[in-house]
Structure 1
Amino acid sequence: MASRSYGQYCGVTTAVELIGERWALLIIRDLLVGPRRYTDLKQGLPKIPTNILSTRLKELQEGGVVRRVPLLHCGLVYELTPYGRELEPIVLALGRWGFQEMGDPQPEDVVTADSLTMALRTAFQTDAAATLPPADYELHVADVALRVQVDASGLRIAQLQPAGRPIDPRLGTQASTSGEPDLVFAAGPGIRRLISGELTPAAAIDQEVLAIVSGDGTLLERFARTFHIPIDPGVVLVA
């Protein structure tokens, strides 16, 4: 467990002592996508010092949140324990809460495959997906490419390499990458404005927030209904 103690007997206090140290929740966020090698975690969190990553992983293991296990042909990987996986709805709720104040990205901000995967899971509207026809998207944001498949049964996401090849499925890929997607489109961080409803799909294209690469562009309307986090009008976004 983390060495910091707040000296209070409270469930919230215990939770903060377990996962409240800097970088801990981002490690958990990435492990919610799937098991990760140490090098995968370091690559997905490029600004984390290696000694801090090692320390956080040790603390999370001691707290019963993370465990280290062998994975065939992948070596030793870190994964969430069943106790750790109980954090998923909490992390998704935090993502929706934080989305309200994201504002525009700073020049040094990056988007990673795991952060984008979790962003889509955060924004996913199960009720909308249940009432809409299935759709198969390929989304490109900077160097990140995701295959995103939606139907009445839920959401499946596969992370693709820059060349379009799927990442090892044992490290978290779920969607099928066979066949052609219905829609391929590219976007920058401004895709947040589509997900929030600030921009319609047509306006997002007109303002070059995103661009259709191939496929049926009308499916953007379906994407915007399926992945949506409405912004509270009482919240002022930070510029």
Structure 2
Amino acid sequence: MAARDYGQYCGITQALELVGERWALLIVRDLLVGPRRYGELAAGLPRIPSNILAARLKQLQEGGVIRRAPRSRVIIYELTPYGRELEPVVLALGAWGFRSMGDPRDEQVITPDAMTMTLRTAFRPQVAATLPATAYAARVGTAELLVRVDGPTLDVTRGDGPADLSFAVGPDVRRLISGELAPDRAIATGVVEVLHGSGDLLERFASTFHLAA
């Protein structure tokens, strides 16, 4: 099914032939957040050509990674149980790639699904279990997310809602999550703008979400 056949009999080779083509794993990343319509996938991957998106969706279906399903008179794409097994792989890749991320380029964007997966990658349930339940309304670039932490459970949804702390931040959120910038310095330097609630809760956020750079 892959456009490139590596000619080797190996599990890693098979995995790359299933999801190693350009854009394929990013489609999987977004579908790990939830089922998506074709247009939603295209919007979340603004640089993908429409013919490539269609081709990748077809290849991923043929490989048993995703499936098409009717829902409320529209077709949505969702991961199969086999495809969902990629979640720890995607999270591990995200953590690995985070370590070599530099400053963002001007043309780079943060999509809601990408930020959701970053938070899931950085989430430390063992730390969260020792802290009070907290809801954060995070505006990261143009992405608005409601982040609810209750013990070791994390729930991230799009949009706004009641929150203990509301804050806005740009791509420099990486510096906060990595620990490069302490929460109080992030606020003092304008990297993070507290919109509602106590800035002290940003300390709790930084403790709950951390990735080593």
TM-score by length of 2: 0.98
Q: Deviations over 1:169-228 (max 9, x none)?
A: xxxxxxxx4xx2100000011011110011110011112111100112111010000000
Partners of 1:43 and 1:135 in 2: CA distance: 30
* 1:31 corresponding residue in structure 2: 31
Partners of 2:3 and 2:206 in 1: CA distance: 44
1:7 is displaced (CA, Å) by 0.5
Which secondary structure does the structure 1 equivalent of 2:78 belong to? strand
The alignment yields a C-alpha RMSD, in angstroms, of: 0.9
1:158 is displaced (CA, Å) by 1.0
After superposing on structure 2, the runs of 4+ consecutive aligned residues of structure 1 that deviate more than 4 Å are none
Partners of 1:142 and 1:16 in 2: CA distance: 32
* 2:171 corresponding residue in structure 1: 189
* 1:173 corresponding residue in structure 2: none
Unaligned runs of 5+ in 2: none
Map residues 81-92 of structure 1 onto 2, 5 A cutoff. Answer: 81-92=80-91
* 1:44 corresponding residue in structure 2: 44
TM-score by length of 1: 0.87
Partners of 2:189 and 2:201 in 1: CA distance: 18
Q: Which amino acid aligns with 1:196?
A: S
Q: Which amino acid aligns with 2:16?
A: V
**Residues matched between the structures, number:** 213
Q: Deviations over 1:114-151 (max 9, x none)?
A: 01111100100011111111100000012110000001
Q: Which amino acid aligns with 1:34?
A: G
Partners of 1:206 and 1:20 in 2: CA distance: 42
Map residues 210-221 of structure 1 onto 2, 5 A cutoff. Answer: 210-221=192-203
Partners of 2:9 and 2:30 in 1: CA distance: 30
Percent identity, please.
Answer: 60
Which secondary structure does the structure 1 equivalent of 2:185 belong to? helix
Partners of 2:3 and 2:118 in 1: CA distance: 31
Retained in 1: the 8 A contact 2:61–2:67? Answer: yes
Q: Deviations over 1:57-113 (max 9, x none)?
A: 00000000010001125x110000000000000000000000001111011101111
Q: Which amino acid aligns with 1:45?
A: L
Q: Which amino acid aligns with 1:32?
A: L
Answering whether residue 92 of structure 2 is matched by residue 93 of structure 1, we say yes
Partners of 2:200 and 2:71 in 1: CA distance: 41
Q: Which amino acid aligns with 1:57?
A: L
Partners of 1:3 and 1:130 in 2: CA distance: 45
Which secondary structure does the structure 2 equivalent of 1:31 belong to? helix
Unaligned runs of 5+ in 1: 165-176, 232-239
